[in-house]
């Protein structure tokens, strides 16, 4: 038998998803990054495409197969991710920012390999500078009817921090989850709270693909 055809309830909609980590060069061979696997963003892209959406997936470097029928825009740094997101955002009915963007980048990356005994001062103290906030930038430029969704990975005060991000980033929804102790990063399941102006909705632990479906369904209701 064939698998069931998913409901095409996102047909005709363009959506944007950011996913994975960003990598920020220190020199020609080293970088700063984080543990993001990209699984949540790829699950979001796959689910929206299966429901008929035209998906742009702006992705940092990950070890995942691109989902079927998704336009993937590969990027490395936060600044590249911002440029790609700003290019796609004006056409997007819904934009979901699941990427784990490096908050800071080396201020002056070397275009060669830094060497012990030669570049010790530079290696011992890499000066950092803040990266742009991609969600906040797109959120601030949001037009009426556009739905913007962010994530918040927190070790402490999950709901309060998520609510603060809802406001500061001009988001319509924050998907909040507790991280640390092996939770969330790289796992196949997640337990989150959907934080909106209307209140908090705690979802049960579920596979990321099911969670992706729930996030789109909730975002579609907000249009």
Active site residues: 34
Binding mask of the shown chain, residues 97 to 136, with x at each position contacting Ca ion by CB under 5 A: ------x---------------------------------
133 labeled binding residue: yes
> b or e along 61-87 (b: 16 or more beta carbons within 10 Å of the residue's beta carbon)?
ebebeebeebebbebbbbebbbebbbe
What does the alpha-carbon distance between residue 27 and residue 108 come to, in Å, rounded to a whole number? 9
113 labeled binding residue: yes
Which of 103, 119 has the CB closer to ligand CTP? Answer: 103
Interface with ligand CTP by CB under 6 A: which residues?
18, 78, 97, 99, 101, 103, 131, 133-135, 150-153, 165, 169
Which of 80, 103 has the CB closer to Ca ion? Answer: 103
132 labeled binding residue: yes
151 binds, options ligand CTP, Ca ion, none, Cβ within 5 to 8 A by partner type = ligand CTP
- Cβ-based neighbour number of residue 206 at 10 Å: 16
What does the alpha-carbon distance between residue 144 and residue 50 come to, in Å, rounded to a whole number? 26
Which of 71, 79 has the CB closer to Ca ion? Answer: 79
CB of 68 to ligand CTP, least distance (A): 24
Helix (H, G, I), strand (E, B) or coil at 149: strand
Which of 103, 119 has the CB closer to Ca ion? Answer: 103
Stretch that binds Ca ion, among 11-19, 65-73, 95-103, 136-144 (CB under 5 A): 95-103
Residue 154 touches Ca ion, criterion: CB under 5 A: no
- Would you state the structure tokens that stand for residue 34, as one six-digit string? 């984080």
9 labeled binding residue: no
What does the alpha-carbon distance between residue 166 and residue 200 come to, in Å, rounded to a whole number? 12
CB of 150 to Ca ion, least distance (A): 11
31 binds, options ligand CTP, Ca ion, none, Cβ within 5 to 8 A by partner type = none
What does the alpha-carbon distance between residue 53 and residue 222 come to, in Å, rounded to a whole number? 16
Sheet arrangement for strand 199-202: 70-74, 54-59, 14-19, 94-97, 147-154, 173-178, 192-196, 199-202
What does the alpha-carbon distance between residue 129 and residue 123 come to, in Å, rounded to a whole number? 16
Helix (H, G, I), strand (E, B) or coil at 76: coil
- Give the residue numbers of the binding site for CTP: 103, 113, 132-135, 151, 165, 169
In the complex, the residues that contact Ca ion under the rule CB under 5 A are: 103
């Amino acid at each position: 038998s064939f698998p069931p055809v998913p409901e095409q309830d996102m047909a005709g909609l363009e959506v944007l998803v950011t996913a994975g980590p960003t990598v920020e060069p220190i020199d020609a061979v080293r970088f700063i990054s984080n543990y993001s696997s990209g699984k949540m963003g790829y699950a979001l892209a796959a689910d929206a495409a299966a429901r008929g959406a035209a998906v742009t997936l702006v992705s940092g470097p990950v070890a995942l197969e691109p989902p079927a029928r998704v336009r993937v825009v590969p990027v490395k740094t936060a600044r590249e991710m911002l440029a790609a997101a700003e290019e796609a955002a004006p056409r997007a009915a819904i934009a979901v920012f699941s990427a784990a963007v490096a908050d800071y980048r080396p201020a002056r990356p070397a275009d060669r390999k830094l060497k012990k005994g030669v570049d010790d001062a530079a290696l011992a103290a890499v000066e950092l500078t803040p990266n742009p906030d991609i969600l906040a930038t797109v959120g601030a430029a949001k037009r009426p009817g556009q739905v913007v969704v962010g994530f918040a990975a927190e070790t402490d005060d999950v709901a309060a921090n998520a609510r603060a991000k809802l406001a500061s980033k001009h988001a319509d929804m924050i998907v909040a989850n507790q991280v640390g102790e092996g939770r969330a990063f790289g796992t196949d399941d997640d337990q989150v709270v959907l934080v909106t102006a209307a209140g908090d909705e705690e979802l049960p632990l579920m596979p990321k693909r099911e969670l992706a479906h729930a996030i789109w369904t909730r975002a579609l209701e907000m249009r």
